[in-house]
Amino acid sequence: MESYDAVLAFFEKAEEPVNAGAVAEATGIDKKEVNKVMTKLKKEEKIVSPKRCYWEIKK
């Protein structure tokens, strides 16, 4: 759950939509792990995609 919380916190602070690579770079978490967490966040409808491959926290 540590990476889940870190990725969620990053999205909450992000001022613009970001892709998985940017999340991985900023958090220091492996991109594959970031993708797994983002998939879970998408299913939970906590993040949305305003444009292809970029995500932001659901407002």
CATH of the domain at 11: 1.10.10.10
* 59 band by pLDDT with thresholds 50, 70 and 90: confident
The pTM of this model reads 0.91
CA distance 57 to 53: 14
Range of the domain at 36: 2-57
Is 40 within 8 Å of 4 (Cβ atoms)? Answer: yes
Q: pLDDT (tens digit, 9 = 90+) per residue, 9-29?
A: 999 999 999 999 999 999 999
- Average pLDDT, rounded, for the chain: 96
Within a 13 Å sphere around the CA of 16, how many CA atoms are in the beta-carbon half? Answer: 1
Pull the structure tokens for residue 29: 């978490």
**Number of domains present in the structure of the chain:** 1
